[in-house]
Amino acid sequence: MAAQQIQIAETIRARKLALKRRPDDAEDSDDLATYTNRGNKLKRRAQFVREGRLDNTGRLAYRKTINHAGYTRQIIASKPPLLDDDGELHSPGSSDDEHERHLEPAEEDPFGQVRLEQLLRPITAAHELAEHPGLCAAYKSSALTQMTEDAAETLRREREYLLSAKQLLRRFRGEPDWVPCGTFEGEHDEMLLHEQTMQSMDISEDSAANASGPRSVLAESNGESGPDVAMDDHTIPDAAD
């Protein structure tokens, strides 16, 4: 009886906790580790997951908000301070940009080699497009050509597989791979071909008669025969006439 009472008490306690739980509460005491959609789509707080984010490391999930040039911006990271040859902090206003390139950062900077002023600078002439570090990549890259060749190769391979499957299915149906034309010749095929030949000959004769019809009619109206008219046409008139 004691075990049953304990079980009933635990059931009642679990039911009360379930009624008190809000729909957006997490399943455990820990909150979402990263606000990405990988591994968090089925959790209770999934509405707070950022759509389209696949980074599960949490490095880019939290950005730093700063005020720069009168604007509030969100950045991934800030550049570390630079150290001069003596190991002291470098002041930005004490030297030019060329000298800053030779200074060492106080800590490792993953974006130290990125030059946004070179990548985002506009072009002023057409010949600069070939050497522009940000815009020439789309014209020099062979990725699109390689993708096209791979797609064409895949299409040819699929067509070969389809032809092989078609021939195999034909053999399963008991049909031969090649059949001579004489196999499909029927009893009345020769007669049909003969009739078509005669009809074509009649059509050619009618066409020839229609071509010579107007000249014959003109000769008959003048009381002359066709051959005589043909002979008269070829006769050369005398000079006295």
Torsion, Cα 69 72 76 82, to 10 degrees, reads: 30
| Per-residue pLDDT tens digits for 33-73 | 555 566 666 666 666 565 555 555 545 555 678 887 788 87
Residue 217 has what pLDDT? 47
pLDDT tens digit sequence for 196-218: 677 776 777 667 666 655 554 44
Rounded mean pLDDT, 99-117: 70
Q: How far apart are the first and last CA of the chain?
A: 152
What is the C-alpha to C-alpha distance for residues 156 and 71, in angstroms, rounded to an integer? 55
Q: What are phi and psi of 111, to 5 degrees?
A: -105, 20
pTM of the model: 0.31
Which letter, b or e, does each residue of 205-241 get, where b requires 16 or more Cβ atoms within 10 Å of its Cβ? Answer: eeeeeeeeeeeeeebeeeeeeeeeeeeeeeeeeeeee
CA dihedral over 35, 38, 42, 43, signed as positive or negative:
negative
* CA distance linking residue 237 with residue 239, whole number of Å: 7
Cα distance between residue 191 and residue 226, in whole Å: 38
The whole-chain average pLDDT of the chain stands at 71
φ, ψ of residue 109 in degrees (nearest 5): -115, 110
Which residue has 């059931």 as its token pair?
11
Residues 65 and 78: beta-carbon distance below 8 Å: no
For residue 92, pLDDT over 50 is answered with yes
Q: What burial class does residue 176 get, using C-beta atoms within 10 Å of its C-beta: 0-12 exposed, 13-18 middle, 19+ buried?
A: exposed
C-alpha to C-alpha distances, 14 to 10, 20, 42, 45, 162, nearest whole angstrom: 6, 10, 22, 21, 60
| Radius of gyration of the chain measured on its C-alpha atoms | 47
Tokens describing residue 169: 């299915």
Residue 155 has pLDDT above 80, yes or no: yes
Give the Cα separation of 32 and 25 in Å (integer). 11
